[in-house]
Amino acid sequence: MKVKSKSKKINKAWLNQHANDPYVKLAQREGYRARAAYKLKEIDETFKVIRPGDFVVDLGSTPGAWSQYLRRRMSPDGAATGQLDGHIVALDLLDMEPIDSVHFIQGDFREDGVLEELKAKLDEVQPGRLVDVVVSDMAPNLTGIESSDAARITHLIELALEFAVSHLKPNGTLIVKLFHGSGYSQLVDLFRAHFVTVKPIKPKSSRIKSSETFLLGRGLKSP
């Protein structure tokens, strides 16, 4: 009973913190589906990642906050609908509510059918087209067991990196979410083995107590 009571207190405290979070309130005012939009916004504004005309792939896109930011960023007037200067493909295992001009693929990007659909979209824009930017907000369901969680996180980041190495332009950019803890330094080293520029980032909109951080890799190294 004590454990259950403590759990309720923790849940209530989290809900109160979430309701009073300034980024949650800002997301509600500005029409974003999640506060996560401001993490990508800060990374983009700091490192000038997204440019007009880009082809961007959003891995682990649901509920769609990152795709919403990308869509507004690539609109000539910053609008959530209407003209778009570029192309956005979002992928997730879970369904995602439609976003104007964002092509959504539901499925596992490790599967051949999903990759073929993505390649078809690239060829539709331009035969042999490569991707300018890959962003990944993917995160596994954490168990609380450090070794198990580290392995799951590493696996997702390795998949995103493998995808990026195969589909990015030579000067392209990959952004992934990861967590400080076991395996973190190895993942940074893995990025350094593949990218000319590697930047760990902790956006202001990422909660202070969270071990969540982001890693940016830009410019693929020659094989």
- Which residues does the annotation mark as catalytic? 177
Phi-psi region of 117 (alpha: psi -120 to 50; beta: other; left: phi over 0): alpha
Amino acid found at 72: R
Distance in angstroms (rounded) separating the CA atoms of residues 34 and 82: 22
Rounded to 5 degrees, φ, ψ at 60 are 70, 45
Phi-psi region of 62 (alpha: psi -120 to 50; beta: other; left: phi over 0): beta
Q: Which residues contact 78 (CB under 8 A, 6 or more apart)?
A: 72
**In terms of DSSP H, where are the helices of the chain?**
2-19, 22-30, 37-47, 65-73, 112-125, 146-167, 184-194
Kindly give the pairing relationship between strand 195-201 and strand 168-179: unpaired
For CA atoms 70, 72, 95, 120, the dihedral sign is negative
